Structure 1
Amino acid sequence: MKPDFLKGIRFTDLTWAGAGPFGTKVFSDFGAEVLKIESTTRLDSVRTAGPYKDGVFGINRSGYFASRNTGKKSISLNLKTDEGKRIVRELVAQSDVVSNNFGPGAMERFGFSYDALREIKPDIIYLSMPMYGQDGPRANLLGVGMTISAVTSIMWQTAYGPDDPVGPGTHYPDHAANPYHAAFAVLAALAYRRKTGRGMKIDLSQVESTINFVGPSLVEAAATGCEPPQLGNRSRSDAPHNMFRAKGDDAWVALAVSGNAQWRALAAVMGRADLAEDASLASPAGRLAALERIDAAVAQWTAQHAPAAIVARLREAGLAVSEVASSRQLVESDPQLAHRHYWQRVAHPEIGAALLNSPPFLIDGERIELERPPLMGEHTHEALGRLLRLSPLQLKELEEQGVFS
């Protein structure tokens, strides 16, 4: 399916790195024209972050960049030049949305404040995504996804213990909370503009957005005055609920028991009648009190069997269990992702057939067809010639002046 749901919507997109580009990718994947403003004088950081095709470095070879920028058009502009800034303003005049994820004051220093840009385009939708928002006592503090994971307590809450604050990296801030909150806000602003004719300024604090993922813990802490416990992969409602090593090289399974019937079924499959008959383990509270003992017993059993065998036997017994898949397994042998055609091969002029992930849903039962990510500055001449009516001679002169660097 060719994406055209958002056809006619245009972004002047100044976002870079993680959450911002992932948010605007929602729009480029579904037909909007997203003009990604870049500069060789300050490369988008993920262009210089691996993995690289065949392990060979190149600003157009990053899989990290490719996965966040499908369908976009790259315009190379040096915003330290007056001409570069003028071109951005002229692009904004023909855009529906201007987006950035800089720290407070950066857009103002370029001359691109909301007030300045709505003088050019009164109904512009202005998306800003700083870490702490545009104002307040912490507004000038800067950070990236890992910082946001730390300050919102995601790293603490997902740790195995007080000395292991590893957490899930940047996944929640950069790939879930912030890009999709931003995309939802822009869609709402577009609907509002269609109804009223008015634009909107969206000040999305990435910390506030990410806090949505830890809301219940915040409420609990406020209500009780105590910090919720660090559970790792365990549960507060029943046991066992954990990852267990299986037979094989770095092989693991995830298992979650819920209720007494499932506990007895697990004990039966493991051949541990002693556990099933132990009255102290006959309730969730009793099992939680004996957590270490139970986990040790399950781990002893799983270590003797391959993950596939564990999954088959326990699922047949009605338990929630899954193999912990590696990235390679997800790409090469996961039956659900293969059935839904989640992975797509997209032709790319430098890296060949790039393997990219689709949006995690179908529309009318169909998968949208991804368009490849852009080469650095690939669309500069085409887009500026088409939108700003610049002649080949004018484009050449601007390039010679260093405006397209």
Structure 2
Amino acid sequence: MANLPLAGVRVIDMTVVLAGPYCAMMLADMGAEVILVESTQHFPPQTRGINARPTRDMLRNRGGGYPDGDPGKRPWNRWAHFNVMGRNKHSMTVDITRPEGMEIFKRLVSVSDVLVENYAADVMDKLGVTYEMLKRQKPDIIFAKLSGWGDTSKYRNFRAMAQSIDVMLGHSFLRGYPDMDQTEVTTSVAEDPALGVQAAFAIVAALHHRNRTGKGQVLDLCLAEGFMPYMPQAFMDYSMNGRLQGTLGNRDPVAAPCGVYRCLGDDKWVSIMVNGDEEWKGFCRAVAEDWTKDERFGNPLSRQRHQDELDKLVGIWTSRHEGYEVMYLLQKQGVAAGPLLDEAAVYADPQLNARGFWVEESQEDSGTHLYPGFMWKMSKTPPVVRRGPVRMGEDNEYVYRKVLGIGDAEYEKLVETGHIGIDYAPHIK
């Protein structure tokens, strides 16, 4: 661990759901000591589960999420959505809504470098966790605030999930089909992991700045602004030309053919995207069909205008081949293509396995499973799984005694008063 890039950096993790936990995990993967601050008195929905203690009836209507479909004795430690972003972290419990809990929290701040949170802005305000308070405990602390719409202006206190941001940014509209009602467009949470990556980068940059200047700062990031770079064409077209793009489905404003086409097998599909004349020539060599010489498909603009006819012909060709076969035929000619895979096929994909992407992680309550691994490979400081998905309160002894220096009497009192624990309070269902 000493060789990892962020070794020696301590991060307070006050994150929920997806964007924040993903950011914190990446910092932990880079060697930071990430301490997740939790409370036995409060259950954050969609973080350690939909409910703290779900019944079988609840699970019947809500799909998977637990190993073998069983929530077990401590469901919050078995929830896959949390565990997939829970590795390499520590967890402590304290109720900061009570004065003695806030004092414990302040002591933790005084020996930490970064605090990252992604609640709605007014939640931190109500708790009294402000930059001014944090600076009084640690003048050079870095405070990363992740939210739906940012820490200023009209939408500051709005509750936001990626789905609502997706709609308000127009992303769900662009993903729709001309003949499809918007109610049929599936939800997307792509904004969340995107912001997680951006926040981790911003925190590393702020740490670099602090190393040079000795000064901390506030980082204000949001889902809405963070996702704009993922769909620049539509916004720049409107900005420069006053033109609304409209729904595209699987098509592209420039490339043609571009789409997902049926291939050999039951409900098997392949994605193909051809950019420009050079790739079109490669596509024609791979397909080796007379229709590729049709003058309607002779240049990019004409291919765009005749996409319906082109898609039908491409679909007839792909239907005679398996998805991977199409991929290899086209990739050999420099054309982007790949089969549509389900979860089982993704786990079995030879490329991901050859690169060692899947990593084995173990945890006492949830067992041992393959998890998505690291986003980067580093030749000198490769990330490793140092510990599996963290259980709630797993590191209370370490944090309270070693990090904060709390003695036996105070520790036992905090246990008795419900600050320290590994189970949610009985009233939390």
TM-score, length-normalised on structure 1? 0.92
Q: Is 1:375 paired with 2:391?
A: yes
SS of the aligned residue for 1:286 comes to helix
Give yes or no for contact 1:3–1:29 (8 Å, CA) kept in 2. no
SS of the aligned residue for 1:129 comes to strand
Structure 1 residues 320 and 201: alpha-carbon distance in aligned structure 2, compared to 1, 3 A threshold: closer
Structure 1 residues 2 and 62: alpha-carbon distance in aligned structure 2, compared to 1, 3 A threshold: farther
The alpha carbon displacement at 1:385 in A equals 0.9
Give yes or no for contact 1:101–1:128 (8 Å, CA) kept in 2. yes
Provide, for residues 67-96 of structure 1, a one-character-per-residue CA deviation record: whole Å limited to 9, x for no partner.
112111111122222221111111001100
Return the match for 1:169 from 188, 207, 212.
188
CA distance in 2: counterparts of 1:386 and 1:261, whole angstroms? 63
The alpha carbon displacement at 1:366 in A equals 7.3
Structure 2 equivalent of residue 247 of structure 1: 264
Q: Which moved more, 1:185-194 or 1:313-322?
A: 313-322
Give yes or no for contact 1:253–1:307 (8 Å, CA) kept in 2. yes
Amino acid of the structure 2 residue aligned with 1:170: V
CA distance in 2: counterparts of 1:366 and 1:342, whole angstroms? 16
Structure 2 equivalent of residue 280 of structure 1: 296
CA distance in 1: counterparts of 2:331 and 2:12, whole angstroms? 50
The alpha carbon displacement at 1:105 in A equals 2.2
The alpha carbon displacement at 1:306 in A equals 2.0
Amino acid of the structure 1 residue aligned with 2:266: D
Structure 1 equivalent of residue 425 of structure 2: none
Structure 1 residues 318 and 223: alpha-carbon distance in aligned structure 2, compared to 1, 3 A threshold: closer
The alpha carbon displacement at 1:404 in A equals 2.5
Structure 2 equivalent of residue 352 of structure 1: 367
Give yes or no for contact 1:348–1:354 (8 Å, CA) kept in 2. no
Provide, for residues 327-369 of structure 1, a one-character-per-residue CA deviation record: whole Å limited to 9, x for no partner.
211112x121111100001122122212111222210177521
Provide, for residues 83-112 of structure 1, a one-character-per-residue CA deviation record: whole Å limited to 9, x for no partner.
211111110011001121111222222121
The alpha carbon displacement at 1:188 in A equals 1.5
CA distance in 1: counterparts of 2:224 and 2:128, whole angstroms? 26
Q: Is 1:225 paired with 2:236?
A: no
CA distance in 1: counterparts of 2:225 and 2:401, whole angstroms? 40
Structure 1 residues 316 and 11: alpha-carbon distance in aligned structure 2, compared to 1, 3 A threshold: closer
Return the match for 1:341 from 356, 362, 380.
356
Return the match for 1:306 from 293, 306, 322.
322
Structure 2 equivalent of residue 394 of structure 1: 410
Q: Which moved more, 1:17-26 or 1:317-326?
A: 317-326
CA distance in 2: counterparts of 1:365 and 1:388, whole angstroms? 33
CA distance in 2: counterparts of 1:123 and 1:250, whole angstroms? 56
Provide, for residues 135-169 of structure 1, a one-character-per-residue CA deviation record: whole Å limited to 9, x for no partner.
21121221111122222222222223362463561
SS of the aligned residue for 1:47 comes to coil
Within a 5 Å distance, the mapping from 1:19-34 to structure 2 comes to 19-34=19-34
Structure 1 residues 257 and 365: alpha-carbon distance in aligned structure 2, compared to 1, 3 A threshold: farther
Give yes or no for contact 1:66–1:373 (8 Å, CA) kept in 2. yes
Structure 1 residues 271 and 184: alpha-carbon distance in aligned structure 2, compared to 1, 3 A threshold: closer
Amino acid of the structure 2 residue aligned with 1:239: A
Amino acid of the structure 2 residue aligned with 1:175: P
Amino acid of the structure 1 residue aligned with 2:374: P
CA RMSD, aligned part only?
2.2
CA distance in 2: counterparts of 1:37 and 1:190, whole angstroms? 21
Structure 1 residues 316 and 398: alpha-carbon distance in aligned structure 2, compared to 1, 3 A threshold: closer
CA distance in 2: counterparts of 1:130 and 1:307, whole angstroms? 40
CA distance in 2: counterparts of 1:214 and 1:42, whole angstroms? 37
Structure 1 residues 96 and 336: alpha-carbon distance in aligned structure 2, compared to 1, 3 A threshold: same
CA distance in 1: counterparts of 2:329 and 2:12, whole angstroms? 54
TM-score, length-normalised on structure 2? 0.87
Provide, for residues 227-270 of structure 1, a one-character-per-residue CA deviation record: whole Å limited to 9, x for no partner.
12322221222321111011212211111223445445545654
Structure 1 residues 391 and 62: alpha-carbon distance in aligned structure 2, compared to 1, 3 A threshold: same
Structure 1 equivalent of residue 49 of structure 2: 48
Provide, for residues 172-228 of structure 1, a one-character-per-residue CA deviation record: whole Å limited to 9, x for no partner.
x1112x112211221121111111111111122322222232333222212222212
SS of the aligned residue for 2:77 comes to coil
CA distance in 2: counterparts of 1:389 and 1:262, whole angstroms? 64
Amino acid of the structure 2 residue aligned with 1:321: A
Q: Which runs of 5+ in 2 are unaligned?
A: 51-63, 422-429
Within a 5 Å distance, the mapping from 1:206-225 to structure 2 comes to 206-225=223-242
Structure 2 equivalent of residue 9 of structure 1: 9
Structure 1 residues 294 and 130: alpha-carbon distance in aligned structure 2, compared to 1, 3 A threshold: same
Amino acid of the structure 1 residue aligned with 2:192: D
Give yes or no for contact 1:83–1:403 (8 Å, CA) kept in 2. no
Q: Is 1:145 paired with 2:159?
A: no
CA distance in 2: counterparts of 1:181 and 1:404, whole angstroms? 33
Give yes or no for contact 2:49–2:79 (8 Å, CA) kept in 1. yes
Amino acid of the structure 1 residue aligned with 2:100: E
Structure 1 residues 168 and 341: alpha-carbon distance in aligned structure 2, compared to 1, 3 A threshold: farther
Q: Is 1:81 paired with 2:98?
A: yes
Structure 2 equivalent of residue 295 of structure 1: 311
The alpha carbon displacement at 1:315 in A equals 3.5
